[in-house]
Chains A and B, each alone.
Chain A
Amino acid sequence: MNPTTPTIRRRHRLAAAASTILLLAAAACSAGAASDDTEDAAASDEPVRGGELVYLDAEIPISALIQEQGTWQDRALFWNLTDRLVYRNAETGEFEPWIAESWEVSDDGLRYDFVIRDGVTYSDGTPVDAQSVARNLTRQVYGDEAKGLAKNYAFPDAAEITADPATRTVTVVLTQPWAPLLGALTGWAAGLLADSVLELTREEQSDYTNLVGSGPFTVESVEYGKAYVLTRRDGYAWAPQSSPNQGEAHLDTVTITPVQEDSVRLGTLRSGQAHLLRYVQPSEERALADDGYTVVARSGVGLANQWPLRQNAWPGDDPDVRKALQLAVDREQIIEDLYTENWSAATSVVSPGTLGYTDLSAEIGYDPQRAATLLDEAGFSERDADGYRVRDGRRLSLKTYVDVFDNTAKALFQHIQAQFKDLGVELVIDETDYSSYGQTVNADPEVNFTRTGWPHPDPAHGLWNVFSSARADSLKLEGADPQLDALLDAGLHAPSTDAEAAALAETQRYLLENALTIPILNDTQVYVGAPDVHGFTLSDGGLPEYQRAWLDAG
């Protein structure tokens, strides 16, 4: 599933017919690919230097304006072109030093001292020193209004940022604790940029060929919509400690090619014209794995996919109904019917591995009997001619729109629609086009929920941004639940990571015990690599890490 903006798959219905032809045609190619794989396995332990990897994505990268977050495709580029102060180990979930070789946080959570690693340079040769880091952080916190540049929304609104070149230290002093700060520093939007970028206009900064970072790759060329070619950065020697490759990238180049049509993307991979792709239908995932392709998947840290129930739309204000809906979703059945073993059922509002994650599967687990009892007790014991529950002549009916950012959303929504129907609840699923989705679902007062939940560099910030009445207010409570707002604020302004984790645990429990939201699945990114791709890993947020990957020689 795609966590952010533009990844709509509207053509897959059209392509469905065409893919039948492809499957027949591809059988011959794939037989060859599968048989090669066994030979490769032996030779794949030792990384091979060289090679030009071709990666296919469904969408076009849009803008290099890093602190404005970008789309998924942009983030995948930011991740490989820039480095960040702090790294979150995707396996352990722990913070690791990166460009900041060490840091200290004061007990009150108001002062952060980062010691900047020596010897790191941007690809234009300028040093990544304390002053440069301070300039970057200032821009993350304040944006650049004169240039029309937004700030990074995961950072606090104010901070005093100073650099001491003698001790290579950057000091950040806050007016109020901001627990997400370290997490925000690991995020794709916190990549460090050379001064030459910061001086450019908004439009110039949007251009990838102007992006100068200290990452393991640099931009060689961009042909809008066609090819984004990254070249290995010579002399790169500052990968995070846990990276198996502490030096330069193995690959000579990585070419990112957007291929919108699902079946063309698949055919291009299967015919050996590309090495890697993202965004396959789960049904294709299985077929590719059977043919010797490597499926690399990760549920990124952050929020789980979920349906926050709006309380300004009937019957979202009825706690018994909300609880019944939460218990009526058979997540395991959904995965069995629609997905693969790479996907997992949500067990909380955040995904496993995320700071403060608490397994609340017992609270939300599938329990149709209890759901039915709750609805009976709430007065929805009568059924109408269509088999739906009614109370005072009003059908128990909910409305939503299909999430336009996810290629599996429609089937997923329809599956839950069927599960709700078993309980006697109607789910009306509407559709709107990509560009008007956000404003349509926001403006429609009858909508009961829209899908949210994506990888996020910090769960406290992610939950606060989605649920707080001061932010997106996805429950449309408008401050009517001060306890929830207080819990969200406690996580956000916790003075330490432990305090943040404790607040997060409490927030998860509150959201789910009161059935304010229905967790569905853990957001999963799925990449498929050809048999000659090795060492390819995903970041904590499911972004590609090309520095570690290599291709078989020849």
Chain B
Amino acid sequence: MSRRAFVARRIAQAVLVIWLSYTLVFAVLFVLPGNPIRDKITNPLNPLPESVVRPLIEYYDLDLTLVEQYLVTLGRTFTGDLGYSLVSGIPVTELLAQGLSETLALAALALLFSVLLALGIALTAVFFPVAAVRSVVRALPAVFLSTPSFLVGFVLLVVFSFQLGWVSSIRDQGLVSYVLPALTLAIAVNAPIAQVLIQGLSRARGEPFVTVLKAKGVPPATIAGRHILKNGSIPALTLTALTVGDLLAGATIVETIFNRTGIGLITEQAVREQDTPVVMAIVVLVSTLFVVINLFTDLVYPVIDPRISLRAAAAPRRVRRRVAIG
């Protein structure tokens, strides 16, 4: 299969995935009880009469049937009109732009920290000369995995903001404000990458080409850094792409603790209030992000490992994922 045909097929698949997620979430939101406008009537604390709320229900097309509402919103989404938040009246595009710029910066830094942490852990766990240190470091990913983000984030806040006063817990101070949340997020998501990298490196280390390299007198550092790492990192790369999902999910908790108004916080608010236009836009955004990153990863494999062809790219990934999870 040519590269172009492969990309075209994958893009078609991607559009299908995005449309299916959109439709599914729309149907679920419609079926679930609760929407911010009708809640004004049923809220036991401050019930508004139906007559007062009726203009709002009509304004937001909430009096239409499921199919009518679906077609109207899908049509608008296609033309780029994401509408307004039912709750705050803010244009959805504005909310997303604010959230994305915030979260992308956070996620990028967190991803960088994750990869660095994972590399550091894996290289130490596989190559460090002292066995005791290797086994302690090997256990680190499990420790990270079982430590809740809110606790890590909170401890960092207590120490660096409340005690030392180095950063504000509420004000934005530029790059420095991203460090603690990114570190919290990195600790939460780097563990699987580190574990897979440890496995990959251990396996690659035992392969015959390593013996050949040793016999040729290549220095151990070069073997580890150039040859083993490259061979052992493919599964970790797949996992890193999948980590984007974890980063977005983790951002919800981390952004809450560090008071950052990114996609995580906007998602949390929108889901809590069942703010349909915002939730739908986030679904489209996140599913697009996901498929694009996975497509990108598939295209990058052959660059790292020439043994992988695009034709084979889809099938082995499944195997690798299983390795990654196991």
Let me know if A495 is at the binding interface, CB within 8 A. no
Contact assessment for A454 and B38 in the assembled complex, using a CB-CB cutoff below 8 Å: no
Could you tell me the distance in whole angstroms from the C-beta of A427 to the nearest C-beta in chain B? 17
Set of chain B residues within 8 Å of A162, measured between Cβ atoms: none
Contact assessment for A5 and B46 in the assembled complex, using a CB-CB cutoff below 8 Å: yes
| Distance, CA A150 to CA B55, complexed state (A) | 6
A274 and B89 contact, Cβ closer than 8 Å, known pairs A148-B59, A264-B157 = no
Set of chain A residues within 8 Å of B59, measured between Cβ atoms: 148, 202
Could you tell me the distance in whole angstroms from the C-beta of A31 to the nearest C-beta in chain B? 13
Contact assessment for A150 and B48 in the assembled complex, using a CB-CB cutoff below 8 Å: yes
Let me know if B314 is at the binding interface, CB within 8 A. no
A56 and B89 contact, Cβ closer than 8 Å, known pairs A21-B154, A22-B154, A148-B55 = no
Could you tell me the distance in whole angstroms from the C-beta of B32 to the nearest C-beta in chain A? 6
Contact assessment for B272 and A260 in the assembled complex, using a CB-CB cutoff below 8 Å: no
Task: Kindly specify which of A290-298, A324-332, A386-394, A465-473 makes contact with the partner chain.
Answer: A465-473
Set of chain A residues within 8 Å of B58, measured between Cβ atoms: 148
One digit per residue, 1 when the CB lies within 8 angstroms of any chain A CB and 0 when it does not, for chain B 141-165 equals 0000000101100110111011101
Could you tell me the distance in whole angstroms from the C-beta of A243 to the nearest C-beta in chain B? 28
Set of chain A residues within 8 Å of B91, measured between Cβ atoms: 203
Contact assessment for A3 and B45 in the assembled complex, using a CB-CB cutoff below 8 Å: yes
| Distance, CA A443 to CA B32, complexed state (A) | 13
Let me know if B236 is at the binding interface, CB within 8 A. no
Could you tell me the distance in whole angstroms from the C-beta of B147 to the nearest C-beta in chain A? 12
Let me know if B79 is at the binding interface, CB within 8 A. no
Contact assessment for A17 and B151 in the assembled complex, using a CB-CB cutoff below 8 Å: yes
Let me know if B309 is at the binding interface, CB within 8 A. no
Let me know if A223 is at the binding interface, CB within 8 A. yes
A257 and B45 contact, Cβ closer than 8 Å, known pairs A25-B162, A226-B172 = no
Could you tell me the distance in whole angstroms from the C-beta of A268 to the nearest C-beta in chain B? 5
Closest to A266 in B: B162
Set of chain B residues within 8 Å of A14, measured between Cβ atoms: 148, 150
| Distance, CA A438 to CA B39, complexed state (A) | 6
Could you tell me the distance in whole angstroms from the C-beta of A461 to the nearest C-beta in chain B? 12
Could you tell me the distance in whole angstroms from the C-beta of A445 to the nearest C-beta in chain B? 14
Let me know if B210 is at the binding interface, CB within 8 A. no
Set of chain A residues within 8 Å of B45, measured between Cβ atoms: 3-5, 403, 405, 451-454
Contact assessment for A466 and B47 in the assembled complex, using a CB-CB cutoff below 8 Å: yes
Set of chain B residues within 8 Å of A109, measured between Cβ atoms: none
| Distance, CA A454 to CA B46, complexed state (A) | 8
Could you tell me the distance in whole angstroms from the C-beta of A40 to the nearest C-beta in chain B? 21
Contact assessment for B47 and A273 in the assembled complex, using a CB-CB cutoff below 8 Å: no
B216-231 interface (Cβ within 8 A of A): none
| Distance, CA A28 to CA B164, complexed state (A) | 11
Could you tell me the distance in whole angstroms from the C-beta of B7 to the nearest C-beta in chain A? 37
Let me know if B95 is at the binding interface, CB within 8 A. yes
Let me know if B34 is at the binding interface, CB within 8 A. yes
Set of chain A residues within 8 Å of B39, measured between Cβ atoms: 5, 435, 438-439
A441-485 interface (Cβ within 8 A of B): 441-443, 450-454, 465-466, 471-472, 474
B16-74 interface (Cβ within 8 A of A): 32-36, 38-39, 41-49, 51-53, 55-56, 58-60
Contact assessment for A438 and B52 in the assembled complex, using a CB-CB cutoff below 8 Å: no
Set of chain A residues within 8 Å of B33, measured between Cβ atoms: 436, 439-440, 443
Let me know if A314 is at the binding interface, CB within 8 A. no
Let me know if A207 is at the binding interface, CB within 8 A. yes
Contact assessment for B34 and A439 in the assembled complex, using a CB-CB cutoff below 8 Å: yes
Set of chain B residues within 8 Å of A223, measured between Cβ atoms: 98, 261
Q: Which of B90, B162, B260 has the most chain A CB within a 10 Å cutoff?
A: B162
A261-279 interface (Cβ within 8 A of B): 261, 263-264, 267-268, 270-271, 273-274
Closest to A67 in B: B52
Set of chain A residues within 8 Å of B32, measured between Cβ atoms: 435-436
Could you tell me the distance in whole angstroms from the C-beta of A258 to the nearest C-beta in chain B? 8
B240-284 interface (Cβ within 8 A of A): 256-257, 259-261, 265-266, 269, 271-274
Could you tell me the distance in whole angstroms from the C-beta of B78 to the nearest C-beta in chain A? 21
Task: Kindly specify which of A57-65, A93-101, A177-185, A212-220 makes contact with the partner chain.
Answer: A57-65
A435 and B158 contact, Cβ closer than 8 Å, known pairs A143-B55, A224-B90 = no
Set of chain B residues within 8 Å of A261, measured between Cβ atoms: 150, 154, 256-257, 259
Contact assessment for B84 and A203 in the assembled complex, using a CB-CB cutoff below 8 Å: yes
A63 and B88 contact, Cβ closer than 8 Å, known pairs A273-B170, A436-B32 = yes
Could you tell me the distance in whole angstroms from the C-beta of B248 to the nearest C-beta in chain A? 17
A366-401 interface (Cβ within 8 A of B): none
| Distance, CA A224 to CA B85, complexed state (A) | 12
Set of chain B residues within 8 Å of A153, measured between Cβ atoms: 48-49, 52
Let me know if B313 is at the binding interface, CB within 8 A. no
Let me know if B168 is at the binding interface, CB within 8 A. yes
Q: Looking at the complex, which one of A63, A258, A442 makes contact with B42 (CB distance below 8 Å)?
A: A442
B85-104 interface (Cβ within 8 A of A): 87-91, 95, 98
> Count of chain A residues with Cβ under 8 Å from any Cβ of B?
78
| Distance, CA A260 to CA B95, complexed state (A) | 18
Let me know if A287 is at the binding interface, CB within 8 A. no
Closest to B51 in A: A157
Let me know if B169 is at the binding interface, CB within 8 A. yes
Let me know if A536 is at the binding interface, CB within 8 A. no
Q: Which of B155, B170, B172 has the most chain A CB within a 10 Å cutoff?
A: B170
| Distance, CA A487 to CA B243, complexed state (A) | 63
Contact assessment for A264 and B49 in the assembled complex, using a CB-CB cutoff below 8 Å: no
Contact assessment for B56 and A206 in the assembled complex, using a CB-CB cutoff below 8 Å: no
| Distance, CA A181 to CA B78, complexed state (A) | 48
Closest to A226 in B: B261
Contact assessment for A65 and B55 in the assembled complex, using a CB-CB cutoff below 8 Å: no
Set of chain B residues within 8 Å of A150, measured between Cβ atoms: 48, 52-53, 55-56
Contact assessment for A21 and B170 in the assembled complex, using a CB-CB cutoff below 8 Å: no
Set of chain B residues within 8 Å of A268, measured between Cβ atoms: 161-162, 169-170
Contact assessment for A54 and B158 in the assembled complex, using a CB-CB cutoff below 8 Å: no
Could you tell me the distance in whole angstroms from the C-beta of A12 to the nearest C-beta in chain B? 12
Could you tell me the distance in whole angstroms from the C-beta of A255 to the nearest C-beta in chain B? 9
Contact assessment for A22 and B158 in the assembled complex, using a CB-CB cutoff below 8 Å: yes
| Distance, CA A225 to CA B252, complexed state (A) | 14
| Distance, CA A380 to CA B119, complexed state (A) | 70
Let me know if A49 is at the binding interface, CB within 8 A. no
| Distance, CA A270 to CA B95, complexed state (A) | 31
Closest to B158 in A: A25
A225 and B162 contact, Cβ closer than 8 Å, known pairs A22-B154, A65-B89, A434-B272 = no
B interface residue numbers (CB < 8 A to A)? 32-36, 38-39, 41-49, 51-53, 55-56, 58-60, 84, 87-91, 95, 98, 148, 150-151, 154-155, 157-159, 161-163, 165, 168-172, 256-257, 259-261, 265-266, 269, 271-274
Q: A56-B170, A474-B44 are in contact. List 11 more A-B contacts (CB 8 A).
A: A22-B154, A26-B162, A29-B163, A150-B56, A153-B52, A224-B88, A264-B259, A267-B162, A403-B44, A435-B274, A439-B38
Cβ-closest 7 pairs across A and B: A206-B89, A148-B59, A438-B42, A225-B261, A472-B47, A436-B34, A439-B33
19 CB < 8 A contacts A-B: A15-B154, A26-B162, A62-B87, A148-B56, A150-B52, A153-B48, A202-B89, A224-B98, A224-B261, A257-B259, A267-B158, A267-B161, A271-B161, A273-B169, A274-B170, A435-B271, A436-B274, A438-B44, A439-B42
A interface residue numbers (CB < 8 A to B)? 3-6, 8, 11, 14-15, 17-18, 21-22, 25-26, 28-29, 54, 56, 60, 62-63, 65, 69, 143, 145, 148-151, 153, 157, 202-207, 223-227, 257-261, 263-264, 267-268, 270-271, 273-274, 403, 405, 433-443, 450-454, 465-466, 471-472, 474
